[in-house]
Structure 1
Amino acid sequence: MVRPAQERTYSTATCAPSRLSGTSSPRRTAPQHTSPRHRHKYRIAMNFNNLKGRLKGKQTGAPPVYTPRSPPIALPTTRPTARPPQMVAPSAPRPAPVAITRKLPVLPDRLIVGIDFGTTYSGVAYVLATGQNIDNLKPNNISEWIGQGNMSQSKIETVLYYDSDGNVVGWSLDSDDCMNGAGKLKPGIYKAEWFKMHLQADSVNTYVHTGDLPKLPPNKTALDVASDYLTLLHKAIDAELLKRLSGVYEREKNNIRYFLTVPAIWNDAGKNLTRQAAVRAGFVDDINDRRLKLITEPEAAAVYCARYSQLSLQASDVFLIVDCGGGTVDLVAYEVEETLPFTVKECTVPTGDACGATRVLAAFEQIALDKIGKIPLDNADGNRLRAKFLDKCLRDFDNRIKKSVKYKNPRDFLIELGSEFDCPEASVTDGQMAFTSDEIAQAFSQVVERTVELVKDQINLVESQQKKLEAIMVVGGFGASQYLFDYIKEHIPPKYVQKLVRPVDSVAAIVQGAVTTGIFDRVVTSRKSRRHYMLETVELFVPGRHPEEFRLRGYDGVDRCRSTRKIFIEKWQKLVVGQPVTVHLRRQIDVNGNPVFKDSLYYCEQDKCPEFVTMSGIVPLATLHMDLSSVDKSLFRMVEGSDGRKMYDIEFEVSMSLEDGDALRAECTFKNQIVGQATVDFK
């Protein structure tokens, strides 16, 4: 354990009973430092009982996804732990929905912006609450962007362009100066893409690796690139909202509440980097600013589906969200707690993998490269022609073939290469390269197979709890793929085929759900912890149980064992939103010492956590900094150590909670008074 030099003796940590374990101490809440507008809390009353029928939605195609060449990527073979299914008990007939009339609350003026920061495409939506009945509010997608003329785009590419000096010279909405007349990058220009995935890859994780992703520009970190992109996106949002809302925007721009989406399976470090990027981009002033909230993508989708779909759900029903995006597929099941107001809780721990649309393109790229490699080309012009042919193949696959291919109606496709020649070995006739239905299926195979595995695992987790799974909702840009949807339908258990649905405008479900989260009070009331969280501690040494090399002598003359751990959040534990877990800590310092402490936080994703933090499976997460220097030292208890020196024996508490997309937050309390935030520095 790392401790300041002035700390004189051992430290211990014990978990206090919390609301999560069924017992609690008086709740402590932080003083409000924000304006009344920011502190405003409201509840909704929504009538979902009169929403009838199944989802009936147009199946819109995903926006075009063009990404340049990258090495083929092998999908991970690891699978989330799934508990074995049990027989589901027969249920009573479902009651018919009952219409309930209730006056809904009215909001004060508030501008809410949702940002779906995607791997390949990003979208923005907003709503202006101007005293209307909240039942009448509906998010507005930003589809017209400054510099795009009359072109309408609900999503824009998540790309940046840098020059050789590291300056941003173009992005999604302005890249003309980066290209030559043939649409190729000019010399010395670097294109940055898929950089969102680097935010997670830069931290310890189990499902994506930096080597699998396109390289970042020279001398740029993932945080640098993400910050640069979000800065330009922020400026574009400001310009568009100013054009649409004029004086209202000028009045409200410093009070905007932002809801930024992140994948559910990202760890705390990846989410923290995302928050840092948003702060650098100027959305809010600092990382603790409550105007910025992170929301997981499937949670945003769940809010959207619950609010705007025509899906009739009763209390105790479970619905599964399958969010298929450009980089990841995220899944989580929710159980309906109440229908008025509509609230849900997590029924399963979120799972997922890096098996989004980009993996399909990478697999097709390898197929095309194998064919192009069989074309006999001279050395003088061969490389240029190979690059040209590959670019033609990738563009046509991404813009046309990927959207039109169907699992139940396979067919062959031809791609124009732009040169008249024949090469039977490469399936080229009259300058057209042929791709068979089997080759197209091969490009999709690993991704769709992995997605079905994830869906089945979630079904097993629901059934193991003897819950009723009433709907499986496929959302996200890649979720609009008919091939993916039909493949899932063909391979899930037959009894769930009729429960597989795709909401209206499933592509916009994430960003509109993010805005909807800001409109209504908490829809998700509790979550399940994805992993164990623990502090490194010392405890009394027990011969025969503790390793001798871990024995240490405290200043009070008592032997203790170092590198032990104290779990304060268990894996699978129910975490009630807004209710922190309290950890009791004890420190002893010299009377002239400064009461500033730091401890190491760890996590473990195994079901059974090892005993010592040095063991395999326990991963360093962050350093927790706790500052009690604002407390009058006369309030500390003075004791005498074994060497006769006087010390302060300090007992205090740290309240920790997983909020804002599962991000870890903490604050210190001493004698039931909040004495400041405990800062968390992620490793």
Structure 2
Amino acid sequence: MSGSGRSDISLSSLRDSLLSSVSLEKSRDVTSTVASSLASTTDTPAGGHRIVVGIDFGTTYSGVAWGHTGSPSDIHVIQSWPGGANLTSPKVPSKITYDPTTNAVKWGFQIKPFQPCIECFKLFLDPSHLPKPEFLSLNPGVQTLSGQFRGMGINGGGGSGLAAGLTLGSTRNVGDIVKDYLQCLFEHTITVLNRALGQAFVESTKIEWVLTCPAVWSDKSKAATLAAAERTGMKKWGKSIRLISEPEAAALYTLKTLQPSHLEVGNNFVVCDAGGGTVDLISYEVVQTQPLQIKESVTGTGDLCGSAILNERFDRFVQERLGPAIYYTMKEKTKLAALKTWEEYVKRVFVDGEDQDVFPIQFPGLADDEARGIDCGFMSVTREEVQSIFEPIIQEIIKLVDGQISAVLSLGKRVSTILLVGGFGSSEYLFTRLKDHYTPLLSTSSNPDIVLQPVDAWTAVVRGAVIRGMETIVQTRRSRHHYGVKYWEYYDESKHDEAHKYWDTTREKWLAENQIKWYISKGDEVSEEKSISFPFYITFEEHHSRILVDELVCCDDDEPPSAITSSVTTVCKLTSDLTTVPKYLYTRGKNSKDVEYEGLHFTMEMSVLSASLLFELRVGGVRYGEVTADFE
């Protein structure tokens, strides 16, 4: 296939720390009021309105929020969960378990302390972003498992690690587990909506589901997330699902809640979304304020250095302190009690510079050992030791923020604010470290507060997902890769490698295969409103299939190659069905052997969304057939 042309395109704290001051009964009163107000805005249940549901599927905790286009400024975060009794929480643990006999599912707060379960499974949707070995080792003497979690607090089932936990009591793969967990979130959301708005209203109103995912994930991982969601009941009654990157969602909510003095045209913001697994960063520039419109300033970055890694580093610290003989014979309940103390107490309240120099961590049943700092079932951990657990993660986040700031500065612009959001973004210690680091560098007399931590930092992502379903605020985004397509063209010995040379028996020409036409450059501005066209010309003999398979490829080199090399990876294979294209749109020809063939000019249209790619096939500007993307 040959192509030509180029488009002008451009952990977390546990339940007790999550208690809301609003009781369950008051929450029900609020939703009843919402239902009454909606009923008064429309003559029919549907009334042309939409319900928008945002789902923040997290590594350690997940959240759901919803709103209605009849009252777009009201965003309701689900606070009550199965198994939570009368307690309320804006997030539910990302945990799931299967009964080995009945196969019944329990999830979230239904899973009780010390019950074996599967956790952190979200990370395995993108294995390339599993924890770095250096994060999991406090010194060279501590052995780590490359690419796997190991130790306490991950699956609660014997310390066998996440990889083993994924098949706990079943043979499900990661996609199945994610689907089952999202199914639980979906079903509970429908229950909440029915109670708040009435079942008849919900069933007759279009629901748009906006699911968040890390911006640093590969296109394949994002597609896997969307595929898992589509296997749930979310698409019932023709309801739609879309993806949005987590930092973009956080930015949408946070920027709309900032004081007007921060929102001046030309201001640049770095959004640091620090969650349980990933830390994502994207920078935005304010294009206009009324209504608010923003665009990505520079290409986003991120890595797996969230607060879940602190748990793993704490586990490594305990291994080093106790030694393998004690650690590996310690009861699982003792390990889990220690992790609970670390999560609820130390990790949450630790603030640099305060008077407390020793932090007692519970290790029930462990024998007194003065040399190891064990006394009456508690291990004494010094401030310096806690800092050593935090430090590599803090430094990695600072490095990521530095990269965003430098990229903005290289454009001749300045960063006015760093917005810290997400579960880990709620950490007082992380906030203080960033504030102390960046205030001297970036603050001015008119703008002294460089680092801001919104009150709703933990729910900013899920609230922003609802806002995205209500309105479009981001005008353009920056491409994270070069994108192009494989094709072949007429062979030219002055530009093509002879290894790519082959004879086309239909056109009786020498062609060069494995060539690449790059249509999007890394850092290009792309917009949902403008698709990118990949023009092609293909020839068929009568016996040839009209089902075509093309390849979308990407590259991160500064200068991408013109042909396939080791630095080029396949994003997905695109299967197009041309059987519905009318015959009159084909050209006809005959070669020297009187073999007749048909030729067709067509374009592949790709739309770059916040966290997904959409494809269409067009001939003469008209859409024909279906294009399916098989991500590699």
Q: Decide: shared fold, TM above 0.5.
A: yes
Please name the residue that 2:423 is paired with.
477
Please name the residue that 1:596 is paired with.
547
CA-CA distance at 1:601 after TM superposition: 1.6
2:567 to 600, 617, 620: 617
Gaps of 5+ in 2: 17-40, 133-145, 150-160, 444-448
2:293 to 343, 348, 351: 343
1:214 to 153, 157, 162: 162
The amino acid across from 2:306 in the alignment is G
1:103-252 superposed matches below 5 A = 108-130=48-70, 132=71, 134=72, 137-164=73-100, 167-175=103-111, 183-185=113-115, 191-201=117-127, 210-212=147-149, 214-215=162-163, 216-217=166-167, 219-247=171-199, 249-252=201-204
Instruction: Give the helix-richer structure, 1 or 2.
Output: 2
The amino acid across from 1:577 in the alignment is E
Deviations 1:622-666 (A, max 9, x none): 11111121122133111112432000011111111112x331111
Conserved in 2, the CA contact under 8 Å of 1:326 and 1:356? yes
The amino acid across from 1:485 in the alignment is F
Conserved in 2, the CA contact under 8 Å of 1:337 and 1:344? yes
Report the Cα distance in structure 1 between the residues aligned to 2:102 and 2:453, rounded to whole angstroms: 42
The amino acid across from 2:283 in the alignment is A
Instruction: Describe the shift of the 1:633–1:389 C-alpha distance in structure 2 as closer, same or farther (beyond 3 A).
Output: same
What is the DSSP-based 3-state SS (H/G/I as helix, E as strand, rest coil) of the residue aligned with 1:560?
A: strand
The range that moved more, 639-648 or 308-317, is 308-317
**2:388 matches 1:425:** no
Report the Cα distance in structure 2 between the residues aligned to 1:392 and 1:369, rounded to whole angstroms: 15
Conserved in 1, the CA contact under 8 Å of 2:517 and 2:562? no
Report the Cα distance in structure 1 between the residues aligned to 2:605 and 2:79, rounded to whole angstroms: 42
Report the Cα distance in structure 1 between the residues aligned to 2:429 and 2:201, rounded to whole angstroms: 42
Report the Cα distance in structure 2 between the residues aligned to 1:207 and 1:570, rounded to whole angstroms: 29
Gaps of 5+ in 1: 1-10, 22-60, 67-104, 177-182
Report the Cα distance in structure 1 between the residues aligned to 2:61 and 2:190, rounded to whole angstroms: 19
Instruction: Describe the shift of the 1:205–1:160 C-alpha distance in structure 2 as closer, same or farther (beyond 3 A).
Output: closer
Conserved in 2, the CA contact under 8 Å of 1:636 and 1:649? yes
The alignment-based identity, stated in percent, is 28
Please name the residue that 1:514 is paired with.
465
Please name the residue that 2:154 is paired with.
none
CA-based RMSD:
2.5
Please name the residue that 1:280 is paired with.
231
Q: Which has the higher contact order (CA 8 A, sep 6+)?
A: 1
Report the Cα distance in structure 2 between the residues aligned to 1:205 and 1:651, rounded to whole angstroms: 40
**2:392 matches 1:443:** no
CA-CA distance at 1:389 after TM superposition: 3.3
What is the DSSP-based 3-state SS (H/G/I as helix, E as strand, rest coil) of the residue aligned with 2:607?
A: strand
Deviations 1:389-431 (A, max 9, x none): 3222211001111111012326211123223742122111233
Please name the residue that 2:596 is paired with.
646
Please name the residue that 1:565 is paired with.
516
2:347 to 394, 402, 405: 402
CA-CA distance at 1:340 after TM superposition: 1.4
Deviations 1:177-216 (A, max 9, x none): xxxxxx433xxxx521111111112xx6698785347111
What is the DSSP-based 3-state SS (H/G/I as helix, E as strand, rest coil) of the residue aligned with 1:323?
A: strand
**2:337 matches 1:392:** yes
Instruction: Describe the shift of the 1:62–1:171 C-alpha distance in structure 2 as closer, same or farther (beyond 3 A).
Output: closer
1:576 to 488, 508, 527: 527
Tell me the number of residue pairs that the alignment of Structure 1 and Structure 2 aligns.
Answer: 568
Please name the residue that 1:675 is paired with.
624
Instruction: Describe the shift of the 1:256–1:205 C-alpha distance in structure 2 as closer, same or farther (beyond 3 A).
Output: same
Instruction: Describe the shift of the 1:166–1:398 C-alpha distance in structure 2 as closer, same or farther (beyond 3 A).
Output: farther
Deviations 1:345-389 (A, max 9, x none): 100111000000001111011111222327x76xxxx85535343
Report the Cα distance in structure 2 between the residues aligned to 1:311 and 1:319, rounded to whole angstroms: 14
Please name the residue that 1:39 is paired with.
none
Conserved in 2, the CA contact under 8 Å of 1:62 and 1:481? no
The amino acid across from 1:653 in the alignment is T
Report the Cα distance in structure 2 between the residues aligned to 1:611 and 1:226, rounded to whole angstroms: 38
CA-CA distance at 1:166 after TM superposition: 9.2
What is the DSSP-based 3-state SS (H/G/I as helix, E as strand, rest coil) of the residue aligned with 2:285?
A: strand
Deviations 1:216-261 (A, max 9, x none): 11522110100010111111111122122224544445x1111110
Instruction: Describe the shift of the 1:210–1:160 C-alpha distance in structure 2 as closer, same or farther (beyond 3 A).
Output: farther
Report the Cα distance in structure 2 between the residues aligned to 1:680 and 1:285, rounded to whole angstroms: 22
Instruction: Describe the shift of the 1:121–1:575 C-alpha distance in structure 2 as closer, same or farther (beyond 3 A).
Output: same
What is the DSSP-based 3-state SS (H/G/I as helix, E as strand, rest coil) of the residue aligned with 2:288?
A: strand
Please name the residue that 1:415 is paired with.
361
CA-CA distance at 1:492 after TM superposition: 2.9
What is the DSSP-based 3-state SS (H/G/I as helix, E as strand, rest coil) of the residue aligned with 2:499?
A: helix
Please name the residue that 1:17 is paired with.
7
Report the TM-score, using the length of structure 1 for normalisation.
0.79
Conserved in 2, the CA contact under 8 Å of 1:368 and 1:393? no
Conserved in 2, the CA contact under 8 Å of 1:602 and 1:618? yes
1:305-316 superposed matches below 5 A = 305-312=254-261, 313-316=263-266
Instruction: Describe the shift of the 1:552–1:242 C-alpha distance in structure 2 as closer, same or farther (beyond 3 A).
Output: same
CA-CA distance at 1:512 after TM superposition: 0.6
Conserved in 2, the CA contact under 8 Å of 1:357 and 1:478? yes
CA-CA distance at 1:606 after TM superposition: 1.9
Report the Cα distance in structure 2 between the residues aligned to 1:465 and 1:572, rounded to whole angstroms: 12
Report the TM-score, using the length of structure 2 for normalisation.
0.85
The amino acid across from 1:469 in the alignment is V
1:500 to 439, 443, 451: 451
